[in-house]
Amino acid sequence: MAFLYEKKKSKKDDHEYIEITGFEGNGEKLVIPDSIEGLPVEAIGNHSFSGREDIVSVEIPESVKTLYGFAFHNCKNLERIALFDSLDDYYDGVCRQCDKLKIIDITVNNSWYEVIRNFLADSDRTLEFRIHIKTDEGYDEARLTFPEFVYDFNENTMARTIQFSIAGSGYAYRECVDRRSIDYREYDRLFDKAVIDGNALSENIAIGRLIFPKDLLVGYRAVYEKYVRKNGAGILCRLIDDENEDESLELVKALLTYRCADAQETEDGDKLLKDVDIDKAIEHAVKSGKTLFSAALMDAGAPKGGAMEFTL
């Protein structure tokens, strides 16, 4: 198993670098090296991994500055890409027709958000960005879900014109990102549009903004809290059923320990999730055989006076 590559010379300053052109062997968890033969890996070439069905995740080092056209095009099982904001050039179709791609994990060391714009322009599907932003104290984290959208064309035969429209909130959400920044406040203002698109989508947006509240717009903490609280049982059961159990369990724990800004005037106090919803989730976890979820939920939701019993 080995990477295929070519040695290149920069047109700017004549320094030598490596361009990856492919990979021999199984690349399920593909980790691109930052150097080969002592030279920095700075590019991934045209169609380098196009059409491969073995790749599930890709890690791209900070040394890479260019992703050439269709580098990961039609990788049908690709779910996650991790990379840095070091990219200067992102060519057309890098991740097009990667229908399972869900998560882009990006480390932002230079306040350069163009790569996020490029991924969003390349895909009209729902994408979640896990953004690690360098600060003087370390790293801030934001977790932003960008909904999908659909271009719609309708022919008006009487007027002999084609009418164009966009369905879904995803296009408006994409407008929140420019080269140098993300407009988190506008992102929050769009939440009403996301709610129309569907529960799972809007739930993920709300959870991401509550657990990772980077530049959260004033007043929207309460909006997101109210929405998650209203849909607590469904959210917990969906996370329990998620294929990625480790990450889902961490989210469940974060939601269980989250405390609302203003104490609720209910028997649940300032807890984000209602006890009755935690009880429903415990029953679902027990019936599904998800013991780690059951334990975490029981820790947070066991009633005063005794343990809960569920019949399978």
Specify the pLDDT at position 57.
98
Domain segments of the chain: what residues? 231-312
Strands 150-156 and 139-146: unpaired
Residue 14 backbone dihedrals phi, psi, to 5 degrees: 70, 10
Specify the pLDDT at position 117.
96
Residues with Cβ within 8 Å of residue 86, at least 6 apart in sequence: 62, 63, 64, 65, 109, 110, 112
Mark the ranges of the chain whose per-residue pLDDT is less than 50.
304-312
Specify the pLDDT at position 168.
83
Q: pLDDT digits over 234-251, tens only? A: 999 999 999 999 999 999
Q: Tell me which residue of 129, 228, 225 sits closest to 174, measured CA to CA.
A: 129
Specify the pLDDT at position 311.
41
Six-digit token string for 20: 């990856």
Specify the pLDDT at position 308.
46
Specify the pLDDT at position 1.
52
Specify the pLDDT at position 301.
65
Specify the pLDDT at position 91.
96
Specify the pLDDT at position 302.
53
Burial of 79 (0-12, 13-18, 19+ CB in 10 A): middle
Six-digit token string for 292: 């780690």
* 52-64 exposure pattern, b = at least 16 Cβ within 10 A, e = fewer: bebbebbebbebb
Q: How is 247-266 classified by DSSP, letter by letter?
A: HHHHHHHHHHH-B-SS--SS
Q: Is residue 70 a contact partner of residue 93, using CB atoms and an 8 Å limit?
A: yes
Specify the pLDDT at position 198.
79
Q: Count of H helices and E strands in the chain?
A: 10, 14
Q: How far apart are CA 267 and CA 109, in angstroms?
A: 45
